[in-house]
Structures are given as C-alpha cells and as structure tokens.
Chain A
Amino acid sequence: MIVVRTPGGVSLRLHPRTLTVGVTCALLTLAVGVLALGSGDYPMSAADVLRTLVGDGTPAEEFIVHELRLPRLATAIAVGAALALAGAVFQTLVRNPLGSPDLLGFTQGAATGALVVIVVGGTSMMLSGAAAVSGFATGLLVYVIAWRRGVHGYRLVLAGIGVAAILTGINGWLLTRAPLMDAARAVLWLTGSLDGRGWIHALPVLIALALLGPAVLAGAGPALRLMEMGDDSANALGVPVERLRLALLGAAVLLVSLASAAAGPVNFVALTAPHLARRLTRAPGPNLLPSALLGALLLVVADQIAQRAVPGHQLPVGVVTGVIGGGYLIWLLAAERRAGRL
C-alpha cells in the first residue's frame, strides 16, 4: 500500500498492484484500439492511424477512422466498461459472485423492449430507446418485488431470477411471432453485436459513463466496500445503506440498459470482468475501476477476435464473449477444485 500525503492534509492510499493492473488494461486497450482502427478492407499503419486521429489524415482516412471505425471502437470500450462496472456493483450489492445483470433479469428486460420493436417494426433508434427503457423498468420491477423493509441480497437475486424466467418466456414468444427475416435480426441483436455501430450508439453509453462513473467510483466506492461486511456493519460505520443501495442499483441498471441498447445483451462481460479484476489485483473489495477498465479491454479484444476468427465472416461479439466467459468460469471451477476450495 502506498500512501501519499500533502501538507494540506490531503492523503491518498494507492494499492500498487491495482494501479499496475489498471494502467496495463488502459494501455492494452489503447494498443488494441489503434490496431482495430488500422485493420479492415482498407488497412492502415499504426502511424497513419495516429496521424489521422490528431487530424492530419487524408479525407478518405479521416472518413474511415472517424466515421466508420472509431464509433465501433468507442461503442466497444463504453459497453465493456459499463457492463463490467455494473456487474461489479451488482455482485457486491447482492453479495453473490453470480449477481450479474444476466442473472437478475435486466438484460432480458432490455431484450424484451428491443424484440417488441423488431416484431412491431421500427427504426434502430427506437430499438435502442425501447431496450434502454424496458431494461430500466425491469430493474425497478425487481426492486419493488424484492423490497420488504429494505432489500436484501438473496431476495433481490430470487426476484431477479423470477423476473428473468418470465421475460425469457415472453422473449421466446415474441421471437416465434416474428417473420423469418426479423427473427434472424432479432437473434443477432440478442447475441450482442458491434457490427455497424455508429456514434448514435456509442454516445448515450459514453455520456452515462462520464456522468455515473465518477459518482459510482468516488462517491459510493468506499461505502460499497463496507456493504460487503453486511448491512449492520455498514450502517454502524455511517453508511446510509438502503438509500445508497437504491441509488447504486439505479445507476447500474441504467448502465446495463444503455449498454444493451447499444450492442445488445453482450454475454458474460458483467459476470467475468469483476472476477478477473479481483484475481489480478488480489485486493479485497468490489474493484470497481479495474473491473471497468478490464471490461473495456475484454470487449475490444473480443471484437477483434470476432472480426478475424472466421475469415470472410464476422461473428457477433456476444459469441466470443460467451465462449471466453464460459471458458473462464469452467477454468475457475477447475482451479478452485485443484486448490481444494470447492
């Protein structure tokens, strides 16, 4: 632990390993990002990409980087960070390592809104809007169902699983009602994809991250750490537990809903990134910032794999994150069994 103190009474505490993990993730994301901006039907060198980014490219390069490739990259970074941050918050709030938005029904809720638009017909703006609104509404619904003189972790999980089951049923029914073409589009959306994403997709998530990120990280991070020790302990230390939980749930559900609206319910990032971050930093606690940075890196890398794994054919990014996430979970089980903990 490094402590920085100034004469003015300011004191900061830094965990060296966490710092290393965070900086490494950010640098790797930038590196893979430059690579992503340079690759495609019109390959560009890293130098060309950087030159274009600062505004010294040819008009063609400017168009390709700023209008075609950068929005997709920005969407990947924002969606990955938003999902991972929300996942870390959920896992801490429900005190359950499986407490991800996929399990708690929020992504299914977002999907319902999107499917209704796909079946009824509407623009992609309407689809994103519907996904965001219905995801957020689902969050509210789960909270209300779970509420009984305050919300406790396991009640939230059970309410979430119940709502998720109902919504999965409804989503299936909506799919069977859709014409074949729309159904194919719907399944692509449900898998999670970054194909053809523009600034219109990236911006809402980026704005939400810019507003909610600092509030969650700096405003609620330390208190969230205390909530891991149980409501009574956190209350005794001066954390207004119930109010904070509602605020954090709201923020996390909003992030998940907007992320799903932008890229579809991308699998497993919210579940995997916080676990991976904890393992890498070896620091107790929710590890919010490392989770967010790792989530961004995961999705950017997954998108590169999705574009290159099968030559001449792009996979939806959700397929890759599903395979990576599922594989990671199984590896985790195997590792824990070897360590004799499970």
Chain B
Amino acid sequence: MRSRIRGSAMTLAYERRTISRELTVDIPDQSFTVVIGPNACGKSTLLRALSRLLRPSAGAVLLDGADIHRRPAREIAKTLGLLPQSSIAPDGIGVAELVSRGRYPHQGLLRQWSREDEAVVAESMAATGVAELADRPVAELSGGQRQRVWLAMALAQQTPLLLLDEPTTYLDIAHQIEILDLCARLHEEEGRTLVAVLHDLNQAARYATHLIAMRDGQVVATGPPQTVVTAALVEEVFGLPCRVIDDPETGTPLVVPAARRRSPIGVTA
C-alpha cells in the first residue's frame, strides 16, 4: 500500500487542549477513505492537520515524503485540495466566478486566465452538474446546489488528493446521497484520492473503500468497511449496541441500532 499523504506520530492540540497524541495515519493512494467516530473523537482535527490548517505540535504530516509545513503553500495547493466545513460566498459573486477561484494556485500575475483555466472550470462545473447555474448568484442557490458549487471549486484546483470535511452536513438525505455519489464517481473515474469525514456510519460503509475509525483522538481500527464495521467495533467506538446486516442495495455493512428496552411500567394500554 502506497501513501502520498500520511501523518506520522502527530500530537494535535488546540491552545491547551490536546486532542491526539502519537497519532499515525496512512491514506492509501487512490482510496476513498472515510474517517468515522463519535463527536469530539478528533476526526475533524485529523483532517485539519492533513490539510495543514493545524500544525502538529509534535510529529509531522508528510506529503510525498516531505513535511507539509516546509513547502510553499501554493505548491501544496496543487496537490492537496480541501472542501472546508464552512466557507463564505463573497457578496454578489456568481457561480462561474466562484468556481474559477479554484484556479488560484495555477495562476500568476501574467497568467490570470489561460485556456486551460477556462477548460478546467467548465469541466468542473459540468462534473458537478452546476454548468447551467454558471451565471446565477451563489446567494440565490439552495443548500444542495451551493455545496456542489463549492465542490466544483475544489475540483477546479485539480489536485490528485482531495479532503472533505463533513461535506454532507446541513443537507437533506437526497442531497447527501447526491454529493456522495458525486464523490464516488470522482474517485472511480478520475482516480482521485478522497478523504472525507462523515457522521453517518451507513453512508461511510457504503461509499468508503477504506475506513479509519477513531475514538478519544486515537485510531481504533482501519481497513475496508467489511472488516471494520462489526457489531463489536460499533459498540466499542460509539457505545451503541447494534446488529450489522448486509445493505440490501449494495451488500455493504448496515448498522441497525438495537431496539430500546422498554421498561414495563412505561407501557400503558
């Protein structure tokens, strides 16, 4: 297994609060890796470290073998992209204009808008199905459309590695599936390595090729969903008694939480 990006013996901390110690993580190339775990388990922190938004206080994030904080930001941005949890659409900006900002790391003072930029932006909008919205103001779009526009911007950056921090939060179920289907397609057809933080275990099991399960800032299990998502592990990581069955649609593991034990006096006729 080769990994272009890996975290090596990282200590991750905010101010005085340490989230992870000696955390080592490898992201297999060409995988769709999903990080799962209960709230506050450190999965978003891990993603922030991998995307160099958080500098490890010990250890390092290595991209192609070199410390990510010792290379020019713009160089890194040509290899490693990120869809942050929340971004602000500038006042009055249109869809095409926003997507074109993803070209920044490829541009310069005298190279503001090459034919390649133009083609890549058009492709990115087509891939995410927002081409027909090109001239609309971003502020007028629905949540699902807006998330696809942000994804298009990240795609326009043309990075072989793309990190997604909870890309489905705030979306309804149909739009969640839409975004995940889109990610799966990017992974399969374009061979990009994707790393996403997801809340929904069943979605993670369905879409991921590689899972990283975390608890209390540490990695508890890694591997393909079939081996990671077991009743025992879900109980250990989330503290949730459950059964794991086969997803009738895809055959991937499906977590079914155990029924609530009713107390006898709570039942009334």
Find A95's partner among B81, B88, B102, B112 (CB 8 Å cutoff).
Answer: B88
Q: A237 contacts the other chain (Cβ, under 8 Å)?
A: yes
Q: What is the bound-complex CA distance between A218 and B111, given in angstroms?
A: 12
How far is the CB of B229 from the nearest CB of chain A, in Å? 30
Of residues 202 through 243 on chain A, the ones whose CB sits less than 8 Å from some CB of chain B are 218, 222-223, 225-226, 228-233, 235-240
| Mask of B7-20 contacts with A, CB within 8 angstroms, 1/0 | 00000001100000
Which residue of chain A has its CB nearest to the CB of B77? A238
Q: With A95-B88, A229-B90, A282-B92 in contact, do A9 and B81 touch (Cβ < 8 Å)?
A: no
Chain B residues whose CB sits within 8 angstroms of the CB of A229 once the complex forms: 87-90, 101
Chain A residues with Cβ under 8 A from B133's Cβ? none
B220 in the interface, Cβ–Cβ < 8 Å? no
Whether the Cβ atoms of A236 and B74 lie closer than 8 Å is no
Does chain A have a CB within 8 A of B97? yes
CB of A313 within 8 Å of the partner chain: no
Question: With an 8 A cutoff between CB atoms, is B66 at the interface?
Answer: no
Return the chain A residue nearest B116 by Cβ: A11
The answer to whether A238 and B105 touch (CB under 8 A), given A229-B87, A230-B88, is yes
Q: At the interface, yes or no: B173 with Cβ under 8 Å from chain A?
A: no
B72–chain A nearest beta-carbon distance, Å: 8
Question: Are B111 and A228 in contact, CB atoms less than 8 angstroms apart?
Answer: no
B256 contacts chain A at the CB level, 8 A cutoff? no
Q: What are 22 sample pairs from A and B whose C-beta atoms fall under 8 A apart?
A: A3-B113, A5-B115, A12-B110, A223-B104, A228-B90, A230-B86, A230-B87, A232-B84, A233-B88, A235-B53, A235-B82, A236-B53, A236-B82, A236-B83, A237-B104, A237-B157, A238-B72, A238-B75, A239-B73, A284-B90, A284-B92, A285-B90
Determine the distance from Cα of A285 to Cα of B114 in the docked complex, in whole angstroms: 21
Q: Mark A8-20 against chain B: 1 for CB-CB distance below 8 A, else 0.
A: 0111110000000
**Chain B, interface residues (CB within 8 Å), range:** 35 or more
Interface residues on A, range: 20 to 34
- In whole Å, how far is B197's beta carbon from the nearest beta carbon of chain A? 13
**B261–chain A nearest beta-carbon distance, Å:** 43
Does A149 touch B at the CB level, under 8 Å?
A: yes
Chain A neighbourhood of B84, CB < 8 A: 230, 232-233, 236
- Which residues in B have their C-beta under 8 angstroms from that of A11? 110-115, 117
Chain A interface (Cβ within 8 Å of chain B)? 3, 5, 9-13, 95, 148-149, 218, 222-223, 225-226, 228-233, 235-240, 278, 282, 284-285
Given the complex, which residues of A lie within 8 Å of B117, measured CB to CB? 11
CA distance A131 to B194 in the complex (A): 53
Chain B residues near A12 (CB-CB < 8 A)? 110, 112-113
Between B53, B72, B90, B107, the greatest number of chain A beta carbons within 10 A of the residue's beta carbon is seen for B90
Instruction: Pick from B78, B86, B109: contact of A238, CB below 8 A.
Output: B78
Q: A223 — which chain B residues lie within 8 A by C-beta?
A: 104
List 19 additional A-B contacts (Cβ < 8 Å) besides A5-B115, A233-B88, A235-B51: A3-B113, A5-B114, A11-B110, A13-B113, A226-B101, A228-B88, A229-B90, A232-B86, A235-B73, A235-B82, A236-B154, A237-B77, A237-B101, A238-B72, A238-B104, A239-B104, A278-B91, A282-B92, A284-B91
